[in-house]
Amino acid sequence: MTEKLSSDLEQRFLDVEENLKTVRERIAEAAVKSGRTPRDITLLAATKTVSAQVINHGIELGIDHIGENRVQELEDKFDSYDLSHCELQFIGHLQTNKVKYLIGRVSMIQSVDQEKLAKEISRLSEKQNLTTDILIEVNIGHEPNKSGVLPQNLYELVETVSLLPGVRIRGLMAIPPAGASEKETMNYFLQMNQYFVDIKSKKIDNVAMDFLSMGMSADYPQAILAGANLVRVGTALFGPRNYNR
């Protein structure tokens, strides 16, 4: 049984190596088409359901940003991550009562969508004498059951959160509707890029539009063409997820 597991893990490592090569090539191609260089695009490996062994192998291959979607999973794997040359971020929906498990552990929280959540991040960061980087998540598709601030409330939320101590806005994040066509998805990405540019032009104190985080395994080249400079790629790197584990 041990040999089989070892063999399976070895194959998983090889798959990740090949997948990473392909993802990097596609990022580079999209970056050049968008008038930028591959170095301008941050690849964040979305590691939901992926074992620490496989994640650490990816880090050995040069992945320097990883992101978890679930607080409990991050807690379970935290001591096993090799974070000496890699940033850990939180990219999933975050409940206010779970913030305490992330402050001081993650370099950025990508999914801040309401003042209440931002205030709790601020409070706990201040308590530890830290400044926590965040992205404002936008519900770009106006989906009723999805997290993210609605576009019409985005500027107000940015202004409000910018005044909080212990928190620094570093950009925006969005996930277009899953069932959208390629053309619709590109339109959502372009809308997000416009919000990103508009907010950047306002030069608000404590707001640095450094990151436009959008694009996942199915559409990250599109997102880059539309202006994204941070893409969150999971399945294309690690293979299909086993949600029953």
Whether the pLDDT of residue 165 is over 70: the answer is: yes
Q: Using an 8 Å Cβ cutoff, are 88 and 81 in contact?
A: yes
209 has which bridge partners? none
Whether the Cβ atoms of residue 148 and residue 174 lie closer than 8 Å to each other: yes
Contacts of 217 (CB under 8 A, 6+ apart): 233, 234, 235, 236, 237
The pLDDT score that the predictor gives to residue 7 is 82
Asked whether residue 242 carries a pLDDT value surpassing 70, the answer given is no
For 169-194, the pLDDT digits (tens) are 999 999 999 999 999 999 999 999 99
Contact 90, 81 (CB under 8 A): no
Q: If you average pLDDT over every residue of the chain, what do you get?
A: 95
Q: What is the pLDDT of residue 3?
A: 44
| Averaged pLDDT for residues 139-162 | 97
The C-alpha angle with vertex 201 and arms to 195 and 204, in degrees rounded to 5, equals: 95
Signed CA dihedral, 184, 94, 209, 228: sign only? negative
pTM score, whole prediction = 0.94
Q: Is the pLDDT of residue 2 over 50?
A: no
- Residue spans of the domains in the chain: they are 2-238
pLDDT, tens digit (0-9, with 9 covering 90-100), for 219-236: 999 999 999 999 999 999
Q: Which amino acid is at 21?
A: K
Task: Find out if CATH 3.30.70.100 is the number for domain 2-238.
Answer: no
Does residue 45 contact residue 82 with C-beta atoms inside 8 Å? Answer: no
pLDDT tens figures, 54-111: 999 999 999 999 999 999 999 999 999 999 999 999 999 999 999 999 999 999 999 9
Given a cut of 70, whether residue 44 has pLDDT beyond it is yes
